[in-house]
Structure 1
Amino acid sequence: MADVKKDQERDELFRRIYKIATDLVHAGHVAEWDFKSYVLGTMFYRYISENFTAYINEGEHAAGNKDFDYAKMPDAEAETAREGLVQEKGFFILPSELFCNVLARADKDDNLNETLERVFNHIESSAASGDAENDFAGLFDDFDVNSKAIGETVAKRNKVLVELLNGVAQMPLFSTDGINPDLFGDAYEYLMGMYAANAGKKGGQYFTPADVSELLARLGTIGKTKINKVYDPACGSGSLLLKVEKVLGKDNIERGFYGQEIDLTTYNLCRINMFLHNIEFDKFSIVREDTLLSPQHWDDQPFELIVSNPPFSVPWEGDKNPLLINDPRFSPAGVLAPASKG
């Protein structure tokens, strides 16, 4: 029965996502190419708002304050807990800037675009004072509230933003136990799969199909029940890393998830994906850089498991850059692959 209920929840979630796509993309409000960034950005905003609120509420309820609700707390009172919460959660959101409260005012907010821009900036800047700075910096860069891609005028853009907020608010991302990270993760994969299929080759380069990811993860973990850490040098949106988490279980990846990605949009998607799968900020390190020319995780080796589906068509300097022969990854071969083979 539990599996049937999960399937029903998942099917209803996918139906809601498809409806948002139909309402916004097919109606011409949002270009198909931009759709995934806006929906994923809104989902991420909802997730961290509810995750943050649940964390605080659980602590207060456990302390005997059963009627406490962080969402109803005055901002001034909440500010007193900012420093401690940044250390614990990696970021901070004022009650008035939570997803639920911005949503409640959205259809009456003539400056909703400015409101969301301010909220996103506040979330990112809050992390700058803690250890999660690199995990949050620029996360909302692809969510351009002032883009003409979602409307020629402020009023039209705000109409689309209201639809986005309402659409994501209606997604059934909860189970009877509260926030369900599995459903957020399922929503991410469904959306990315739909996006990759519809966007053709350019979309496909950002997304390894779920079945392929799971096969690679299972092959890499044969005979293992736990590992120290997993690394993907061309991590894309993180599907391979997170399939390892699905196969082994989060608690059986002792020191976390490491990845490197050169594309800015995909790098942001990967970090969002980590959060939507309930991976805490201190359990992953995703870095934006060219792995071939500038690997960023030398000091984090050795990795017990490395998974990857690299983009083989990426340009490669190869023998045009003789300095690369000094790289300890290439020097044992004594020769560099020609640039034409990148």
Structure 2
Amino acid sequence: MSPAISENQRAELHKTIWRIANDLRGSVDGWDFKTYVLGTLFYRFISENLTAYINEQERAAGDADFDYATFSDEMAVYGMQSTVEEKGFYIFPSELFCNVRARAAQDVNLNETLERVFKNIEGSALGTESEDDLKGLFADFDLNSNKLGSTVAQRNAKSVKLLDAVGGHAVRRLCRQHY
């Protein structure tokens, strides 16, 4: 049961999206902008949703301090199949929105990192009932587009701004209310 979004929360979300628009203005047209923002919002939402789900399962099993976001990818492999069966997708801890965002400013290959993450999310559903739902989900999210900048460094700088804006406090509160 998710509570309705208040007018204040909706206004905060609109301000955040407008701030992102101002940061990307001039380099990204309206449709592409929506693709980047909505794709990033969705990536954050499913990352937080999966983290909450796994944390809840582990805490119910007796590990009160469990935090999936700090778990190793090597250990996370063991729960992948059952999680995909239950949730329809999987994201390794190192590929969660919060962890990619934390490393983004120092990641000179951020465009490649995000492309790999998106490909892995879509690929986690291969051969499952949710495969068609995830296939091509991030296909329009082109991190190598000159619309984000003429160099990889410029494109990555825009991507960092996008991740930081979507990771902002107002958006966090809104995202967490819906799962």
Verify same fold: TM over 0.5: yes
- What does 1:67-146 align with in structure 2 at a 5 Å threshold? 67-146=65-144
| 1:1-342 equivalences in 2 (<5 Å) | 6-25=6-25, 28-170=26-168, 172-175=170-173, 179-181=176-178
Displacement after TM superposition at 1:166 (Å): 0.5
Checking the alignment, whether the CA contact within 8 Å between 2:16 and 2:171 is kept in structure 1 is no
- Structure 2: how far apart are the matches of 1:125 and 1:113? 18
Partners of 1:29 and 1:160 lie apart in 2 by: 10
Q: Shift of the alpha carbon at 1:59?
A: 1.2
Question: 3-state SS of the aligned residue for 1:127?
Answer: coil
DSSP 3-state at the match of 2:124:
helix
Aligned to 2:128, the other structure's residue is in SS state: coil
Q: 1:174 to 1:156 in 2, by over 3 A?
A: closer
2 CA distance for matches of 1:174 and 1:154?
28
Q: CA RMSD in A?
A: 1.8
Displacement of 1:175 in angstroms is 4.5
Check 1:44–1:171 CA distance in 2 against 1; reply closer, same or farther (3 A cut).
farther
Residues in 1 aligned to 2:10 and 2:94: alpha-carbon distance in whole angstroms: 30
What's the CA shift string for 1:61-99, capped at 9, x where partnerless?
Answer: 222211000000010000011111110000111000000
CA contact (8 A) 2:88 2:125 kept: yes
Distance 2:153 2:90 in 1: 29
2:28/2:147 contact within 8 Å kept: yes
Give the unaligned 5+ runs of structure 2: none
User: Given the two structures, how large is their TM-score scaled by the length of structure 1?
Assistant: 0.49
Distance 2:102 2:160 in 1: 10
The change in CA–CA distance for 1:175 and 1:116 in structure 2 (over 3 A counts) is closer
> 1:268-301 CA distances to partner (integer Å, 9 max, x unpaired)?
xxxxxxxxxx6xxxxxxxxxxxxxxxxxxxxxxx
- Distance (Å, rounded) in 2 between the aligned partners of 1:36 and 1:63: 40
Q: For residues 31 and 8 of structure 1, what CA distance do their matches in structure 2 show?
A: 28
Aligned length: 176
Partners of 1:115 and 1:93 lie apart in 2 by 13
Residues of 2 paired with 1:180 and 1:150: CA distance? 31
- Give 1:149 deviation, angstroms: 1.4
Any idea what SS the aligned residue of 1:109 has?
A: coil
Bigger share in helix: 2
Distance 2:168 2:93 in 1: 20
Does the 8 Å CA contact 2:122/2:136 hold for their aligned counterparts?
yes
Q: Corresponding residue for 1:263? A: none
Q: Deviations over 1:110-158 (max 9, x none)?
A: 0000000000000001011311000000000110011111111111110
Q: TM-score, normalised by structure 2?
A: 0.92
Go from structure 1 to structure 2 and tell me whether the alpha carbon gap of 1:155 and 1:46 turns closer, same or farther (over 3 Å shift).
Answer: same
Equivalent-residue separation in structure 2 for 1:13 and 1:113 (angstroms): 25
Judged with a 3 Å threshold, the aligned counterparts in structure 2 of structure 1 residues 19 and 114 are, in CA distance, closer, same or farther, namely: same
Q: Could you tell me how far 1:171 is from its partner in structure 2? A: 5.3
Query: Which protein has the larger Cα radius of gyration, Structure 1 or Structure 2?
Result: 1
Residue type at the aligned position of 2:14:
F
Alignment partner of 1:128: what SS? coil
- Please state which structure has a larger fraction of its residues in strand: 1
* Percent identity for Structure 1 against Structure 2: 54
